[in-house]
Structure 1
Amino acid sequence: MHDDAGGPAAGGRPAGPGAASGFQHDALLYDDVAEVTAAAVPWLLEGLAAGDAAVVAAGPGTTGPLREALGDDPRVVVVERHALYRSRTPTAITAFRRFAAEHAAPGRRVRVVGEVDFGATDADRREWQAYEAVVNAAFARLPLWGLCVFSTALPEPLLRAARQTHPGLVTAGARAANPDAVDPAAFLRALPVPDEPLESTAPLLADDEVTDLSGLRHAVRERLATVPGPPDVLEDFLMAVDEMVTNAMRHGGPPAGLRLWAAPGRLVCTIRDSGSGLDDPFAGYGPAHGEDLARGGMGLWLARQLCDHVAIRHDGSGTSVRLTTVWA
């Protein structure tokens, strides 16, 4: 399956530690929040004195001590953590791009203390591990300097991902190149896709050889009409399915197929084609052609915004995109 949305809107590669411009992405693994305060407060104050902007998007246990140590400095923008990190990953990417555009003075950066909420499910955790790798490319040319903080109480797979996705490492107030960092594309390709139990059950709708896109769209809409869910959520899901089926038929090898499942508070749809595959691990985290939306390349980008989870898988017979939406 192919999509014109070939990579993040920013493109490029991550800036290395110590680079004078472009994105810098550091990790701090902490046992006690006092370690965050000791490292982040001087760093933020140094930036403010030099004309950088400052943003804090962390959990309350981290934000409170930071605000107290900074004296509630009005130049520090405090963002509700869940507004960024419990939304969908493209929303967070768009928000940080906006911070860079609106708050960075010419020749200066926006310094961000961020603390991702990885969520409670395997699918959530995969999304936000992927995010930490994606931003190395998505923000490569942006005047952002991120200090991402991670409690060592997090599960070891998340801590390992933190070490692998940040080119810089902060320890005891010192910043150095991170020897554990890996290439973001390699990290994304190796990140496993969790199983979805619904895929092993009888589908609500199955069409393993789609030939009539309009007819399939009508059939999906009919099935979704039987699902007791929020109308706006169901409509968003239908739009995402339509985008992915259109992609499969236009860009993937025939035949293209679809299977749809529903459970209380949950929708899953897997769209498959027999093509050689979409090999860009950054696809769909920004429109393919940047701000020029008229040029297309929006399929996966829209799907990632409309669904909670989008998983791309390859095997010997083709490529599939699994869309998942959940609600309370």
Structure 2
Amino acid sequence: MRTGPAAGRSGYFHEALCYASDDELLAVTVPFLLGGVAAGEPTFVAFGERTAGLVRSALPAGHGIEFLTGGDVYARPTAAVRMYRQLLADLVAGGATQIRIIGEVPRVGLGSTWDWWARYEAAINRAYDDWPLWSMCAYDTRITPAAALADVGATHPCFARPDGRHVPSRGYLGPESFLRRNPPMPADPIQADPPLVELTDPTAAQARAAVHRVGQGGRLSEDDLDDFVVAVSETVTNALRHGCPPVRLRLWAAPERVVATVRDGGRGPADPYAGLLLAADGKPGGLGLWITHQSCNHVTQRRDAEGFTLRLTAGRPPG
């Protein structure tokens, strides 16, 4: 049986908690967690080290709440989706009738990579709707930029307030409406210089060779380089197969990262969830983009009058 404001609902009840002090964070988090334990619901925290420490210190001994390692859970949006979907499926198979989770995007995600975390927040309204989940996503208004807070309102149907209220978000958009938006793609600072590599209509093998050349020399770890080679190869293959010519690959490099853009003359994927979720019908469409999102530290996209661009970043994103 569902409890709290999720009572009587089916599927996913997705709330945001925007707090301006540690006291406000605890005023919502502690009752949420202890209420889950009292109701016999699997209850989880996925916070970073500082906020997890605050919550731990406010909970009674033997509380029965499981703390997930926030840095691992939110390494990448697609990794979080994959992990949570498996967790939810396992818990429901074990008899859970409601699951409670409170988590937070890593602080670095509020900077230059926020756009794909915003897309994550929109997509999970569908991705987790197969299970009786009540979750809160916590945002510290002292460090979260105003533009990100606007996206939080657009991607969360409800807000949890420190005074105990649960109120609808006036700015909420359905996930597909949010994901079909086409915001500008701010340039990575290293794109101010000419690309190190520029290829037109490259084969996947030529793309892989170019990434190997640019990524060597200590710019990327061996694992990051291998993943990035796969990501760029998949993106080029998608553009050649599904886009419109010409397909252009450009590569830039800095001491700790490599950036690739793949551009073609088409409109990009029709599925707004492409990259974040596999196709719901089980068909292979979108698999290449999904692999790309699993293999990079930032993926962003942009449509304009001349075509579709996907930008991939390996290593440490700027800022």
TM-score, with normalisation over the residues of structure 2?
0.86
> Higher relative contact order at CA 8 Å, sep ≥6: structure 1 or structure 2?
1
Query: Which residue is equivalent to 1:207?
Result: 199
Residue 195 in 1 paired to residue 187 in 2? yes
Is contact 1:126–1:193 with CA below 8 Å preserved after alignment?
A: no
Map Cα deviations across residues 192-251 of structure 1 (whole Å, 9 max, x no partner). 4322233332222111233x4434433443444456432221111111010000001111
The 5 A counterparts of 1:1-328 are 20-73=9-62, 75-85=64-74, 87-104=75-92, 105-106=94-95, 108-119=97-108, 122-154=111-143, 155-171=145-161, 172-188=163-179, 189-210=181-202, 212-225=203-216, 228-288=219-279, 295=284, 297-327=286-316
Map Cα deviations across residues 39-69 of structure 1 (whole Å, 9 max, x no partner). 2333333322333110011234433343344
- Could you say what secondary structure the match of 1:98 adopts? helix
With over 3 angstroms needed to count, the CA separation of the structure-2 counterparts of 1:45 and 1:207, relative to structure 1, is same
Map Cα deviations across residues 235-272 of structure 1 (whole Å, 9 max, x no partner). 11111010000001111112212111112111011111
Gaps of 5+ in 1: 1-15
Q: Name the count of aligned residue pairs.
A: 309
Map Cα deviations across residues 123-181 of structure 1 (whole Å, 9 max, x no partner). 22223222222211221222221112222212222222222221111121121322222
Q: Percent sequence identity over matched residues?
A: 36
RMSD: 2.6
Q: Matched residues in 1 for 2:140 and 2:151: separation?
A: 13
Map Cα deviations across residues 72-108 of structure 1 (whole Å, 9 max, x no partner). 43531111222223x1111111222122123345351
Q: Matched residues in 1 for 2:133 and 2:300: separation?
A: 28
Is contact 1:27–1:162 with CA below 8 Å preserved after alignment?
A: yes
TM-score, with normalisation over the residues of structure 1?
0.84
Q: Matched residues in 2 for 1:313 and 1:191: separation?
A: 7
With over 3 angstroms needed to count, the CA separation of the structure-2 counterparts of 1:296 and 1:158, relative to structure 1, is closer
With over 3 angstroms needed to count, the CA separation of the structure-2 counterparts of 1:215 and 1:186, relative to structure 1, is same
- Aligned residue identity for 1:59: G
With over 3 angstroms needed to count, the CA separation of the structure-2 counterparts of 1:79 and 1:213, relative to structure 1, is closer
Is contact 2:44–2:100 with CA below 8 Å preserved after alignment?
A: yes
Q: Matched residues in 2 for 1:221 and 1:300: separation?
A: 20
Is contact 2:110–2:148 with CA below 8 Å preserved after alignment?
A: no
Is contact 2:11–2:131 with CA below 8 Å preserved after alignment?
A: yes
Gaps of 5+ in 2: none
